[in-house]
Structure 1
C-alpha cells in the first residue's frame, strides 16, 4: 500500500508485523466504504434538474446537466409534420445541386425534457427570408411540434431557456426592404406549452431619424 514499506528483514519482531497488518486491514475497509458510497460508477448519479414546487418558483425550466443530445433530420421532420403549411413545404427544396436546403437547426433545452429540444428555421432560397420557425420536443422518443410561427418574415432563436421570435411587420404600402416595425417576442415553457412573456416593438422612422421602441411584459 502507498506509504508503507516492505515487511523488512526476516528477523523483524512479530509485534511490528502485527501492527502493519492491522493498518492494512483498516485502509482496505475504508476503501470499501468509499466505493459503496459512490455506487461504483465513478460519475454523479443525478436526474434532470427540476424547478421547485413551492410558490414563486421559476416558470421556465433550468437546463439539465444530464440531458441527452439527439440529432435530427430537420428536412424530414418538416416534410412529415402536418402542422407545417403546404406553402412552407413547397419552399423547402435544395437551393443548389449539393442538397443545400434553406434550413437552420438549433438544439437546446427549453422544456425540461431529458432529450434536447430542436428549433428549425426555414427560409427562401437566394434572399434567405424566414418563412417559418418551429420548435420540437421529444415525447416518448418521437419529436412533436410544440410551437410554430409562419407569418413571414420570421426567425426564431434559443436564448438560454427562452425562445425568442423576431418578426418584420409591414403596413399596406411598405416595400420588402422597408418594414414599418420589428417585433421581438419572448416565450417560456409553462404548463406544457410556450407562453409569451415579453414583447418588444421597434418602430422605424420613415423620415430617416432614429427609431422608436416600446416594450411590455
Structure 2
C-alpha cells in the first residue's frame, strides 16, 4: 500500500495538475467539435443571422400585374358615342378656351382587362351634372355599359362600386339649392350594372345646416 502513497504531497500535486490539464484539453476539444458541427460560426448561425437571410430572400418582389390604367379622351368618347343623347352632345362645349366641363375617373368596376372609365358631363355655368357614363374596354375599344341622363346626376367609383347620385327638387327650389339627393349603388353582374338599394337624403333648410337623412320606412 505504501507503494501507492509513498510519493507524498509532491506526488499528489503532480497527479492533480495532470488531471486538470487533461480536463482542459477535453473541454477545448468539445468546443472545437461543436463549432465545426454548427458551420464554423457557433450560435451566430441561428437567431438574427437566419432572420436576415430570410428577409433578404423575401425582399425580391415577384412580378406585379400588368398596368390596368389606359387614359382616354373623354370629349371624343362622348361625342362619338351613339348612346349619348343629342342634348348632352350639344351642351358639351368648352367653357374657357379648350377646357371642357367633364370629370373623368378610372377604376375596376367590371373586372375588364383595363380600368373602366367613368365620365360626368357638367354645365359650364353651374357645374350641374347632365349625364353620367361608364365605358368598358372591349377588345381594345371602349364601349358604353352605363348611362344616366336624369339631371342633376353624378357618378363616381366608391370602393369598387358605381355610386350614382341624383339630386331632386321640390316646388320652388332654385337650381343651386336642391331639396335632397338619392344615392344608388350599382354592381356589375351578368354583363350589366344592377342597381342596389338607394339611400335618400333630404337637405336641411336651416341656415348652415347639413344634409338630414330621411327616415328609412
TM range (shorter): 0.5 to 0.7
Give the Cα separation in 2 of the matches to 1:150 and 1:211: 24
- Computing the radius of gyration from Cα coordinates, the structure with the larger value is 2
Report what 1:146 is aligned to: 145
TM-score by length of 1: 0.65
Quote the Cα distance in structure 2 between the aligned partners of 1:191 and 1:67.
25
Q: Report the Cα offset of residue 215 of structure 1.
A: 7.6
**1:135-194 per-position Cα deviation (integer Å, ceiling 9, x unaligned):** 000011111100111111111111121011111111343321332221111111111111
Cα deviation for residue 214 of structure 1 reads: 4.1
1:106, 1:119 within 8 Å by CA — same for their partners in 2? yes
Quote the Cα distance in structure 1 between the aligned partners of 2:194 and 2:82.
22
Question: RMSD over aligned Cα, in angstroms?
Answer: 2.2
- Scaled by the length of structure 2, the TM-score of the pair is 0.65
Which residue in 2 is equivalent to 1:185? Answer: 184
- In the other structure, the counterpart of 2:130 is 131
CA distance in structure 1 between the aligned counterparts of 2:92 and 2:67, rounded to whole angstroms? 30
Indicate the SS of the match to 1:128: coil
- 1:77/1:100 Cα in 2 relative to 1: closer, same or farther (>3 Å)? same
What is the distance in 1 between the residues matched to 2:190 and 2:196? 13
Task: Verify the 8 A CA contact 1:67 1:113 in the aligned structure 2.
Answer: no
**CA displacement 1:10-56 (0-9 Å, x = unmatched):** xxxxxxxxxxxxxxxxxxxxxxxxxxxxxxxx8548xxxxxxxxxxx
Aligned position for 2:70: 70
- Alignment partner, residue 197 of structure 2: 198
With a CA cutoff of 8 Å and minimum separation of 6, indicate the structure with the bigger relative contact order.
1
Partner residue of 2:95? 95
For residue 133 of structure 1, report the CA deviation from its aligned partner.
Answer: 0.6
Distance 1:215 1:148 in 2: 29
Give the CA deviation at 1:114.
1.2
Equivalenced residues, count: 155
User: What stretches of structure 1 of length at least 5 have no aligned partner?
Assistant: 1-41, 46-64
| Structure 2: gaps (5+ residues) | 1-60
Contact 1:199 1:215 in 2 (8 A): no
